[in-house]
Structure 1
Amino acid sequence: MSVLDGQPIIDTMIGFPMRDPKATYAFITNKTKDAESSALKMPAGYLFKDAPGEPDPDAPLPDPVAVTLAQMDAHGIAVGLVGVKGEDGRRAVQEFPDRFAGSLSVDPNKGVDTLREITAAHRDLGIKAVDVFPAGLTPQVAINDKKMYPVYAKCVELGLPIFVCAGIPGPRVPFEPQKVEYLDEVMYDFPELVLVTRHGCEPWTDLAVKLMLRWPNLYYSTSAFAPRYYPRDIVDYANSRGADKIIYGGYHPMGLSLERIMRELPTVPFKDEVWPKFLHGNARRVLGLD
Structure 2
Amino acid sequence: MDVSKLEAIDVHTHAESSRERPGEKHAFAEAAEEYFGESEHPNAWEVAEYYRNLRMAAVIFTVDMEMKTGQRRVPNEEVLEAAKENPDVLIPFASIHPARGAMGVKEARRLIEMGVRGFKFHPNLQDFYPNDRMAYPLYEVIAEAGLVALFHTGHSGMGTGMPGGGGVRLKYSNPMYIDDVAVDFPEMKIILAHPSFPWQDEALSVCLHKPNVYIDLSGWSPKYFPENLVHYANTLLKRKMLFGSDYPAIKPERWISDFEQAGFREEVRPLILKENAARLFGLEGS
Fold-level similarity (TM above 0.5): yes
Cα displacement (A) at 1:155: 1.3
2:58 aligns with 80
* SS in structure 1 of the partner of residue 154 of structure 2: coil
* AA matched with 1:213: L
Cα displacement (A) at 1:46: 4.4
Could you tell me the TM-score, scaled by structure 1's length? Answer: 0.80
The structure-2 alpha-carbon separation of the partners of 1:267 and 1:108, relative to structure 1 and needing over 3 Å to count, comes to same
Say if 1:17 and 1:67, in contact at 8 Å, map to a contact too. no
- Would you say 1:152 and 2:142 are equivalent positions? no
Of 229, 240, 254, 1:245 maps to 240
1:25 aligns with 26
User: How do 1:101-180 residues align onto structure 2 when only pairs under 5 Å count?
Assistant: 101-124=91-114, 126-137=115-126, 140-170=127-157, 171=159, 172=165, 173-180=168-175
Q: Distance in 2 between matches of 1:54 and 1:8?
A: 23
Of 20, 24, 35, 1:47 maps to 35
* SS in structure 2 of the partner of residue 149 of structure 1: helix
User: How do 1:3-14 residues align onto structure 2 when only pairs under 5 Å count?
Assistant: 8-14=7-13
Say if 2:61 and 2:79, in contact at 8 Å, map to a contact too. yes
Q: Distance in 2 between matches of 1:259 and 1:147?
A: 39
Q: Distance in 2 between matches of 1:105 and 1:64?
A: 15
Cα displacement (A) at 1:200: 2.2
State the Cα deviation string for residues 112-139 of structure 1 (Å, max 9, x = none): 1111111111111x111111101101xx
Instruction: Figure out how many residues of one structure are paired with residues of the other and give that number.
Output: 258
1:3 aligns with none
Say if 2:44 and 2:60, in contact at 8 Å, map to a contact too. no
Identity of aligned residues (%): 26
User: How do 1:180-259 residues align onto structure 2 when only pairs under 5 Å count?
Assistant: 180-253=175-248, 255-259=249-253
Cα displacement (A) at 1:248: 0.7
* SS in structure 2 of the partner of residue 225 of structure 1: coil
1:269 aligns with 263
The structure-2 alpha-carbon separation of the partners of 1:176 and 1:188, relative to structure 1 and needing over 3 Å to count, comes to same
* AA matched with 1:167: G
Of 272, 280, 288, 2:274 maps to 280
Q: Distance in 1 between matches of 2:259 and 2:17?
A: 25
* SS in structure 1 of the partner of residue 14 of structure 2: coil
Q: Distance in 2 between matches of 1:123 and 1:88?
A: 15
Q: Distance in 2 between matches of 1:89 and 1:199?
A: 22
Structure 1, unmatched stretches of 5+, are 1-5, 30-39, 56-62
* AA matched with 2:196: C
